[in-house]
Chains A and B, each alone.
With several copies, the nearest count.
Chain A
Amino acid sequence: MIAGVVGELDHHSADYIRQKLDAELVKASNKNIIFDLSKMSFMDSSGIGIIMGRYKNIQKLGGKASLVGLSDQSRRIFEMSGLLKIVPAYETIDEALKNM
């Protein structure tokens, strides 16, 4: 599943984004997820929790997660938290698909 985050990801929008993602994940047959952040205009540390939370859920079901389209800002934030060590980031969706 490819999940595009559009707009701003902060604590306020996190609830909505979390619900949307979880609803899609329940429906999805394939438990792998690629987060496409190329249309995300802002992210603070709330983004870490959202990605980490989804990663933990699908991991239990044998799924994998990866990130695509990071801005310099969001890359710095994910890097600080160590998240990129468990949820790798790729340049393109193709590349992410190949490494699933």
Chain B
Amino acid sequence: MQPINEIKLEFLSKSSNEAFARVVAAAFVSQIDPTLEELADVKTAVSEAVTNAVIHGYENSQGLIRMHCKLFCDAVEIIISDDGVGIEDIELARQPLYTSKPDMDRSGMGFTVMESFMDIVEVTSKPGEGTTVYMFKTFKSLIK
């Protein structure tokens, strides 16, 4: 399957870039005209993955976050990665309500939200090297 469009974005791990990354993903995806709800799903999933890179990956220190998006006629692939601390136990991290930062009002629902709003969520990580979140969503409204 050939993507009809593709972008790569690199940005600093600043919390103000959480909203920025959402806007970029939404602007990119709206080229194929999904419903507003589908667009909100993508924005939410991107927000979760980027926020995780900012607060967990880089623990609020400065680093680079990458977002790689491929657009298909009725679907989008989004890969968000950081070179931060990484995740020791991915299975544990993905469990609903698990968070390593409960003190910070984190709910531990980030991965669960991504899974619920996207069709596929895959996490790869190496402690000390970084984390990559692969997400894929088909827009039901666009399937012919």
A residues with a Cβ closer than 8 A to B are 8, 10-12, 14, 18, 42-46, 48-50, 52-53, 72-73, 76-77, 80-81
In the complex, what residues of A have CB within 8 A of residue B44's CB?
A: 42-44, 73, 77
A45 surroundings in chain B (CB, below 8 A): 48, 107, 109-110, 112-113
Interface of A is mostly: helix
Question: Interface size of B by Cβ–Cβ distance < 8 Å?
Answer: 26
- CB of A50 within 8 A of CB of B105, answer yes
* Interface residue B67 (Cβ < 8 Å from any Cβ of A): no
User: B69 near A: Cβ within 8 Å?
Assistant: no
Query: How far in angstroms is the closest Cβ of chain A from B39?
Result: 10
Q: Which of B40, B96, B107 has the most CB of A within 10 A?
A: B107
The 17 listed contacts between A and B (C-beta, < 8 Å) are A10-B19, A11-B15, A11-B51, A12-B19, A42-B22, A44-B110, A45-B112, A45-B113, A46-B105, A49-B107, A52-B107, A73-B40, A73-B41, A77-B109, A80-B112, A80-B113, A80-B116
Chain B residue contacts of A8, Cβ below 8 A: 19
How many contacts A-B (CB < 8 Å)?
67
Picked from B41, B43, B107, the residue with its CB within 8 Å of the CB of A81 is B107
- Interface status of B16 (Cβ within 8 A of chain A): yes
Chain A residues within an 8 Å CB radius of B41: 73
| Complex-state Cα separation, A49 to B15, whole angstroms | 16
**Given contact pairs A45-B110, A76-B116, A14 touches B105 in the complex (Cβ within 8 A):** yes
- Are A12 and B18 in contact (CB-based, < 8 A)? yes
Pair A10/B110 contact, Cβ less than 8 Å: no
Closest to B20 in A: A12
Instruction: Name the residue of chain A whose CB is nearest to the CB of B37.
Output: A72
